[in-house]
Chain A
Amino acid sequence: MKNDNFLELDFTDRLMDFQIDRREFIKIFGGGIFIFMTIGDLPIWVQERPGRPSRPPLPSDFNAFLRIGEDGRVACFTGKIEMGQGVVTSLAQMLADELDIALESVDMVMGDTDLCSWDMGTFGSMSTRFFGPPLRSAAAEGRQVLLELAAEQLKRPVDQLLTENGVVYDKVDKKKSVTYAQLAQGKKMARRASFSVKTKTPDQFKIMGKSVLRMDAYDKVTGQVKYAADIQLPGMLYARILRPPAHDARRNSVDLSEVREMEGVQIVEEGELIAVLHQYPDVAEKALSRIKASYDSPKSELNEDTIFDHLLKVAPAGDVVSEKGDLKKGKKESAIIFEKTYLDGYKAHAPIEPHAAVVHVEGEKATVWPSSQTPFRARDEVAEALGIPTENVHVISPFIGGGFGGKTRNLQVVEAARLSKLTGKPVQVDWSREEEFFYDSFRPAAVVKINSGTDKDGHIIFWDYHVYFAGERGSQHFYSIPNSSTIAHGSGWRGDPGTHPFATGAWRAPANNTNTFARESQMDIMASEAGMDPLEFRLQNLSDEKMRRVLQAAAEKFNWKPAKAPSGRGYGIACGIDAGTYVATMAEVGVDTNTGKVTVKRVVCAQDMGLAINPQGAAIQMEGCITMGLGYALTEDLRFRGGQILDLNFGTYEIPRFSWVPRIETVILDAKNENPQGGGEPAIITMGAVIANAVFDAVGTRVMQLPLTAERVKNEMG
């Protein structure tokens, strides 16, 4: 063994982001063999633009690591979190397979800011996509280290050894062996992954590419899994916070006299923040109901109907996303011109777990348990709110009860931190469903204007695309169009002041749901006018081989028979690309012509996502996308009057239910030699368009606005 391959654990200049010294590191992590890796975790999220506030400086050194422990168990430390998408399992699968250990021997340590190094957050279907390849390399390198150590111990050259289930064997004489635990015994070794060791090829996979049970399933079915609101500390107080009736409301007066008489209720007043706290949440709730406060709310003309004109009025000049050919020329050469406008209202994330956080401030230190997709941002925000250094804040990520992009802001974490400091006790802030709706960062209302043209044979000649406030993800078409332009007006991330009456943000496959609805509706409108089957029309205008394959795979599973729409069958089709994954969806719907109610009977979804680490897990994500997508396609449309949110619970904001779920069939195209792509979001992007197109095919009515509520469909049918 060459000693210079290993460096003694000297982290003085390597663990800048850790803020802990070597002795403490060893104390925390114990001995063993460590493999550090740097993952290209750069802020590549598409909404990032120059001129926006930059993210905190990234550690250039490493941002994840493995430990092969003295007990033979392997731990992976990553800043990612588990919110239902299954990465706790898929990351462990990669690790176990490359290291030749049992899946059960892997411990995932996720989202702990003291144990894991900086991570920007869990979103954008990036965990498996970007984390996967380097994690596999690092694990392969870990195996190489074990082989080298074993070679020394067994006095055999490395190429005469093999690894199996946590043991290194002599190939010739299998009685000669040494376990990983024995090899790691008494070691304090660290190696920085050089990514020079070859990872396994698909034919060598034993665990990757196989369906395995979720590692968190047992704890979830027995109620043992801890979410943020399940964290209870001795002496902890539950907080209820006084909220305004509207986002633009201003408080005139507040009367706390009745609350002051309540036993055991603590009142906190600091600036705008008024909170009542108690050992029991229901008593705090009762105290809140006894606060009398009056507010002034400015009149606003903005509501779910007028918002679109407003958005077009305040929209900034666009940024070019892509350009090709000459639009003017294309328009002149077109036989038929299609000028259409598509609308999409605000959508709530509505995870079943509302935002919650427990914070315990002790002097200059704070410990935080948040329901957050961004634990490191939570750490920084708590530090800032408390005026203490970031290294004094320790965020421990519990399991998250659904995020979908909505748990990235951490407002509740900062509230809990402030209240803990002010009361001197651990504090839990667990939002009510009403607060969850009120403070959601909604998927933005948006407008898409498309002007396109075809020749007399259904070839698309030009495509002039403007998206307002949805964002640019998914705005670029992938068809073969000689003259085209795609322009994004305003960010879908957060508008300038005066754009939206409340906060907006990323919602599962941000921007792409709206963009795919518009693009794929336009495709069908053109196909119908050309008298062509919508699949045939797409294929005629598509040279991207991967998308052609995905469309054909969906068509085969669906048993698509060509027909010009409307055919009366209620068949729809839509395709798109998200997070590197190609998706094609076909659906069959029924429309009640008396009420306009749409019933989705069958959905077939084909997806090319590169290597599917856990095919079953990937299929589950697709089913989840399809089911959740029914909501934004059919019912979800936030009602509001200016800054006042009218839908504050599930009684009026309808999310999908069991009876809505169609027969779902998923197809994952075999692409084992490709790197894994996103899985948690792509299949949702086609749901609006595929249903709108199927409704047109059923009854000949084109609905230009999401969602396709019964009322809207009925109105359009006339």
Chain B
Amino acid sequence: MKELITFTLNGKPVELNLDSDRILLWILRTDLQLTGTKYGCGESYCGACTILVDGEAERSCQLMLKDVQNRSVVTIEGLARNGKLHPLQKAFMENDALQCGYCTPGMIMNATALLKKNPNPTEKQIINGMEENLCRCGAHKRIIEAIRVAAAEMGGF
């Protein structure tokens, strides 16, 4: 069923008149050409498709378009502000917290939500918060470090 869905995407209003049962991940990637959000498993196991919906980390492979009606969606493309990287993006770069980079957008989006909820996480809280995001290259150690560094830089805000 075609339906008019309006939401905020990376700070800008979007109106889509589409079958509102379609999966958000594919709408982001194809209709909206935001390919930073990745398909990894389609079953919410891996977290490569993680985005923010009203500030919470969500798996876009599990959301339908209608689920974001009147809500605010942020993808990896919307994280930098005016060309300035988000502290997490900067920390991932500077701490070599990535290898192939395919899980990276999902990791950063999940960590963004994590730090929003808990600005001063302990290492254990970072690990618990990231546990459901998978990386196959084995960059985990440096991802934890990057999140710690970003949290410190953000000064608990």
**Residues in chain A within 8 A of chain B (CB atoms):** 83-86, 213-214, 216-227, 229-230, 232, 238, 279-283, 350-354, 399-404, 430, 432-433, 616-617, 620, 623-628, 649-651, 655-659, 661, 664
Whether A351 contacts B98 in the complex (CB less than 8 A), given A213-B93, A623-B141, A627-B141, comes out as no
Query: Interface 1/0s, chain B 63-101, versus A by CB < 8 A?
Result: 000000000000111011000010001101110101111
Chain A residues with Cβ under 8 A from B96's Cβ?
Answer: 213-214, 217, 616-617, 620
Q: Does B138 contact A (CB under 8 A)?
A: yes
Least CB distance from B80 to A in Å reads: 6
Chain A residues with Cβ under 8 A from B79's Cβ?
Answer: 222
Chain B residues with Cβ under 8 A from A218's Cβ?
Answer: 93
6 contacts between A and B (CB under 8 A): A623-B139, A624-B138, A628-B136, A649-B41, A658-B126, A661-B144
Bound complex: CA of A430 vs CA of B128, how far in Å?
A: 31
Residue of A nearest to B99 (CB): A84
Give the contacting residue for B105; candidates A223, A624, A625, A650; CB below 8 A. Answer: A223
Residue of A nearest to B132 (CB): A657
Asked if A223 and B75 sit within 8 Å, CB to CB, the answer is: yes
Top 10 nearest A-B pairs (CB, nearest first) are A223-B36, A84-B100, A401-B102, A627-B138, A220-B101, A624-B138, A84-B99, A223-B76, A230-B35, A650-B45
Chain B residues with Cβ under 8 A from A214's Cβ?
Answer: 93, 96, 98
Q: Does B33 contact A (CB under 8 A)?
A: yes
Q: Does B135 contact A (CB under 8 A)?
A: yes
Chain B residues with Cβ under 8 A from A399's Cβ?
Answer: 100-101
Residue picked from A86, A353, A354, A625, most chain B C-beta under 10 Å: A353
Residue of A nearest to B88 (CB): A221
Whether A352 contacts B100 in the complex (CB less than 8 A), given A221-B92, A659-B131, comes out as yes
Bound complex: CA of A558 vs CA of B133, how far in Å?
A: 30
Bound complex: CA of A626 vs CA of B133, how far in Å?
A: 18
Least CB distance from A652 to B in Å reads: 10
Least CB distance from B26 to A in Å reads: 4
Asked if A217 and B98 sit within 8 Å, CB to CB, the answer is: yes
Chain A residues with Cβ under 8 A from B116's Cβ?
Answer: none
Asked if B141 and A661 sit within 8 Å, CB to CB, the answer is: yes
Bound complex: CA of A224 vs CA of B34, how far in Å?
A: 9
Chain B interface, >50% SS class: loop
Give the contacting residue for B138; candidates A353, A616, A623; CB below 8 A. Answer: A623
Query: B interface, how many residues as a size bin?
Result: 35 or more
Chain A residues with Cβ under 8 A from B33's Cβ?
Answer: 232
Give the contacting residue for B26; candidates A282, A353, A655, A656; CB below 8 A. Answer: A282
Bound complex: CA of A667 vs CA of B37, how far in Å?
A: 36
Asked if B130 and A658 sit within 8 Å, CB to CB, the answer is: yes
Chain B residues with Cβ under 8 A from A280's Cβ?
Answer: 22, 26, 30-31
Bound complex: CA of A54 vs CA of B138, how far in Å?
A: 34
Bound complex: CA of A224 vs CA of B140, how far in Å?
A: 22
Asked if A84 and B37 sit within 8 Å, CB to CB, the answer is: no
Chain A residues with Cβ under 8 A from B130's Cβ?
Answer: 658
Chain A residues with Cβ under 8 A from B104's Cβ?
Answer: 220-221
Query: Interface 1/0s, chain B 21-65, versus A by CB < 8 A?
Result: 011001001110111111111110110100000000000000000
Give the contacting residue for B98; candidates A220, A279, A353, A627; CB below 8 A. Answer: A220
Q: Does B108 contact A (CB under 8 A)?
A: yes
Chain A residues with Cβ under 8 A from B39's Cβ?
Answer: 229, 354, 430
Asked if B45 and A651 sit within 8 Å, CB to CB, the answer is: yes
Bound complex: CA of A656 vs CA of B136, how far in Å?
A: 8
Asked if A222 and B140 sit within 8 Å, CB to CB, the answer is: no
Chain A interface, >50% SS class: loop
Asked if B92 and A352 sit within 8 Å, CB to CB, the answer is: no
Residue of B nearest to A401 (CB): B102
Residue of B nearest to A284 (CB): B26
Bound complex: CA of A220 vs CA of B88, how far in Å?
A: 12
Whether A224 contacts B40 in the complex (CB less than 8 A), given A214-B98, A218-B93, A351-B102, comes out as no
Chain B residues with Cβ under 8 A from A650's Cβ?
Answer: 41, 43, 45-46, 134
Bound complex: CA of A226 vs CA of B35, how far in Å?
A: 8
Bound complex: CA of A400 vs CA of B43, how far in Å?
A: 22
Residue of B nearest to A662 (CB): B141
Chain B residues with Cβ under 8 A from A225's Cβ?
Answer: 101
Chain A residues with Cβ under 8 A from B77's Cβ?
Answer: 222-224
Residue picked from B31, B85, B93, most chain A C-beta under 10 Å: B93
Residue of B nearest to A434 (CB): B42
Whether A352 contacts B136 in the complex (CB less than 8 A), given A220-B98, A402-B102, A658-B130, comes out as yes
Give the contacting residue for A628; candidates B23, B48, B108, B137; CB below 8 A. Answer: B137
Bound complex: CA of A673 vs CA of B107, how far in Å?
A: 39
Asked if A352 and B46 sit within 8 Å, CB to CB, the answer is: yes
Bound complex: CA of A225 vs CA of B38, how far in Å?
A: 11
Known A279-B30, A401-B100; further 10 A-B contacts with Cβ < 8 A: A84-B99, A217-B96, A220-B101, A223-B37, A223-B76, A283-B22, A352-B40, A352-B46, A352-B135, A659-B128
Bound complex: CA of A441 vs CA of B31, how far in Å?
A: 33
Bound complex: CA of A649 vs CA of B45, how far in Å?
A: 8
Asked if A232 and B134 sit within 8 Å, CB to CB, the answer is: no
Bound complex: CA of A617 vs CA of B90, how far in Å?
A: 18
Give the contacting residue for B85; candidates A221, A226, A350, A659; CB below 8 A. Answer: A221
Bound complex: CA of A220 vs CA of B93, how far in Å?
A: 9
Residue of B nearest to A436 (CB): B41
Give the contacting residue for B134; candidates A217, A226, A230, A655; CB below 8 A. Answer: A655
Bound complex: CA of A659 vs CA of B141, how far in Å?
A: 10
Q: Does B127 contact A (CB under 8 A)?
A: yes
Bound complex: CA of A664 vs CA of B41, how far in Å?
A: 28
Asked if B134 and A352 sit within 8 Å, CB to CB, the answer is: yes
Chain A residues with Cβ under 8 A from B92's Cβ?
Answer: 217, 221
Asked if A400 and B141 sit within 8 Å, CB to CB, the answer is: no
Least CB distance from B102 to A in Å reads: 3
Bound complex: CA of A650 vs CA of B128, how far in Å?
A: 18
Give the contacting residue for B137; candidates A282, A430, A624; CB below 8 A. Answer: A624
Whether A222 contacts B89 in the complex (CB less than 8 A), given A83-B100, A404-B136, A627-B141, comes out as yes
Asked if A655 and B136 sit within 8 Å, CB to CB, the answer is: yes
Asked if B94 and A402 sit within 8 Å, CB to CB, the answer is: no
Bound complex: CA of A650 vs CA of B45, how far in Å?
A: 6
Asked if A352 and B102 sit within 8 Å, CB to CB, the answer is: yes
Query: Interface 1/0s, chain B 128-157, versus A by CB < 8 A?
Result: 101111111111111110000000000000
Bound complex: CA of A282 vs CA of B20, how far in Å?
A: 12
Q: Does B113 contact A (CB under 8 A)?
A: no
Least CB distance from A104 to B in Å reads: 15
Residue of B nearest to A82 (CB): B100
Chain A residues with Cβ under 8 A from B42's Cβ?
Answer: 432-433
Chain B residues with Cβ under 8 A from A84's Cβ?
Answer: 98-101, 137
Asked if A620 and B99 sit within 8 Å, CB to CB, the answer is: yes
Residue picked from A280, A351, A432, most chain B C-beta under 10 Å: A280
Asked if B80 and A222 sit within 8 Å, CB to CB, the answer is: yes
Whether A402 contacts B136 in the complex (CB less than 8 A), given A222-B77, A659-B131, A664-B141, comes out as yes
Residue of A nearest to B89 (CB): A221
Bound complex: CA of A425 vs CA of B89, how far in Å?
A: 37
Chain B residues with Cβ under 8 A from A659's Cβ?
Answer: 127-128, 131
Residue of B nearest to A432 (CB): B42
Give the contacting residue for A217; candidates B29, B34, B93, B138; CB below 8 A. Answer: B93
Bound complex: CA of A399 vs CA of B31, how far in Å?
A: 22
Q: Does B103 contact A (CB under 8 A)?
A: yes
Asked if A661 and B140 sit within 8 Å, CB to CB, the answer is: yes
Give the contacting residue for A624; candidates B127, B128, B139; CB below 8 A. Answer: B139
Bound complex: CA of A279 vs CA of B22, how far in Å?
A: 13
Least CB distance from B43 to A in Å reads: 5
Residue of B nearest to A630 (CB): B138
Bound complex: CA of A651 vs CA of B132, how far in Å?
A: 11
Bound complex: CA of A49 vs CA of B98, how far in Å?
A: 37
Chain A residues with Cβ under 8 A from B94's Cβ?
Answer: 213
Chain B residues with Cβ under 8 A from A658's Cβ?
Answer: 126-127, 130-131, 133, 140, 143-144
Asked if B45 and A620 sit within 8 Å, CB to CB, the answer is: no
Least CB distance from B2 to A in Å reads: 12
